Copies of this chain bind each other. A is one copy, B any other.
Amino acid sequence: MAATLNKLKKDYPWIQTPLIVGAPMRLIALDEIAIEVSRAGGIGFLAAGTDISQTSAHLQKVKASFERQPIKTRDDLLPIGLGFITWGAPLTPSLQLIAQYRPAAIWLFAYKDPDHLTEWVEGVRQASPETRIWIQIGSVAQALETLLLSPDILVVQGADAGGHGLVKGAGLIPLLPEVADSITSGLGEGESKPVLIAAGGIMESRTASAALALGASGVVLGTRLLATPEAAITPGYRNEVLRASDGGQTTVRTKVYDSVRGTTGWSEHYNARGVINRTLRDHEEGLDVEENKKLYEEEVKKGDEGWGFGGRMTTYAGAGVGLVREVKPAADVVREVREGVKEVLGRVVL
């Protein structure tokens, strides 16, 4: 463990441990949150997602911020990460952005197939050799499949995560240790083991401590960061995150939110977790998807009023949404989770 932390601190010299990572939430985690998470000693990710048309502008803002007020980095890399949804993002222009801005890490999510992922990994290594490669996986099978590409980091996503992930999945508690064991036995001689970072249900220090006990070397915050001023979400969305509780009962993994929003392109193996709303209830009662989509499009006009139990606007959020109870700056969230871990682990009496 100590060796792993040393590697992390060498690769990302500005971080403090335990490492807290800001998830590259599509359309939500943009320049502001990435900057704030990294400045607080975490690794902030900027979401390029599937459509990189605005990403250059966001990266420019990040670059300008760290030029004005630098933090310690390595090889002049931009001290944030950049996240891509690989089935949707255009490869060549994405690699051009990576070559131009040289972020410290690239997070690759939702690969079409291993060959396509190989193209991405080799492309990133060529575009910016000093950049570290993070691959998100959600099963033991995916972990073993991506091991051949020698990722620096495997982001292990459990089924409690909000937004997109595998349709079928396990929570982090059984998943992360099994992934750890499998990659240990799956490695060839002399091959180096990727570092495991945990995602899915991590909201505060107890949940972060659990992930570290499982063997993770860092944790990802997604849903928790929705309730920060730096997240690019509307008040309606943010209020619904604050309202929802008992997420095992009030969120669900489904494809219907993608359908009504017209987000096509996700393979059959992926769906997304969101708070149950009228779209979902209508869908379960048999409403035709096209009709549901029309109702959604009408609802969009309502703005913030369109969210909530009776609304139709989508609130992607994880099963731990009930642990999100107040809005606070992203930097404060990162520091509180990090600093709370020591206390939580100290409280465990055996």
By a beta-carbon cutoff of 8 Å, the part of chain A in contact with chain B is: 1-2, 5, 17-18, 138-141, 158-160, 166, 168-178, 181-182, 200-204, 206-207, 209-215, 245-249, 252, 318-320, 322-323, 341-342, 344-345, 347-350
Q: How many copies does the complex hold?
A: 2
Residue on B with the closest CB to A166? B248
Residue on B with the closest CB to A245? B140
Given the interface contacts A173-B171, A174-B207, does A350 sit within 8 Å of B17 by beta carbon?
yes
Which residues of chain B have C-beta atoms less than 8 A from A214's C-beta?
206-207, 209-210
Give the most central of A169, A204, A213, A347: most B CB within 10 Å: A213
Complex CA gap A158/B215 in Å reads: 20
- Contact between chains at B159 and A174 (CB < 8 Å): no
Which residues of chain B have C-beta atoms less than 8 A from A341's C-beta?
350
Which residues of chain B have C-beta atoms less than 8 A from A249's C-beta?
139-141, 166, 168-169
Complex CA gap A341/B342 in Å reads: 17
Residue on B with the closest CB to A202? B173
Complex CA gap A5/B246 in Å reads: 27
| Extra A-B contacts (13), CB below 8 Å, given A168-B248, A177-B203, A212-B213 | A1-B348, A18-B350, A159-B159, A159-B171, A160-B173, A166-B248, A168-B252, A169-B248, A171-B171, A173-B173, A173-B201, A173-B211, A213-B213
Residue on B with the closest CB to A141? B246
Which residues of chain B have C-beta atoms less than 8 A from A213's C-beta?
206, 209-210, 212-213, 344-345, 348
